[in-house]
Amino acid sequence: MNDLDLLTAITVFVLSVLVGIEVISKVPATLHTPLMSGSNAVHGIVVVGAMLIAAEAHTWAGYTLAFVAMVFGAMNVVGGYVVTDRMLRMFKAKPRTDDRTEV
């Protein structure tokens, strides 16, 4: 990787962070949980990317970055499903309990 490739990669990273912050800050609080729970599953792509990094890595730094990316991506995927399940349970009908006793 030459200096121009590194500079391009850093530029893309910084721009994506800035765009991400701008987009996330515009989401109202009432929509944050539903949007995030659904979009966290997209982080499966991060896991696939980490696997590609691990396949191409030849140094301890590459393996460490791939491992950290896989752990964070997997946590985000699982967390998205947990939040979605919790939200869906909020809307499930609760069993009725009759306080009346039949005579």
List pLDDT tens digits, range 49-81.
Answer: 888 888 988 999 888 988 998 898 888 888 878
Helices (H) and strands (E) in the chain, counts: 4, 0
CA distances in angstroms from 45 to 77, 82, 90, listed in the order given: 10, 18, 29
E-assigned strand segments in the chain: none
Instruction: Look at 80 and 11; give whichever has higher pLDDT.
Output: 11
| Res 93: pLDDT | 77
pTM value > 0.75 = no
Residue with tokens 């539903």: 34
Mean pLDDT confidence for 29-43: 67
14: pLDDT confidence band, cut at 50, 70 and 90?
very high
Q: How far apart are CA 46 and CA 81, in angstroms?
A: 16
Q: How far apart are CA 42 and CA 46, in angstroms?
A: 8
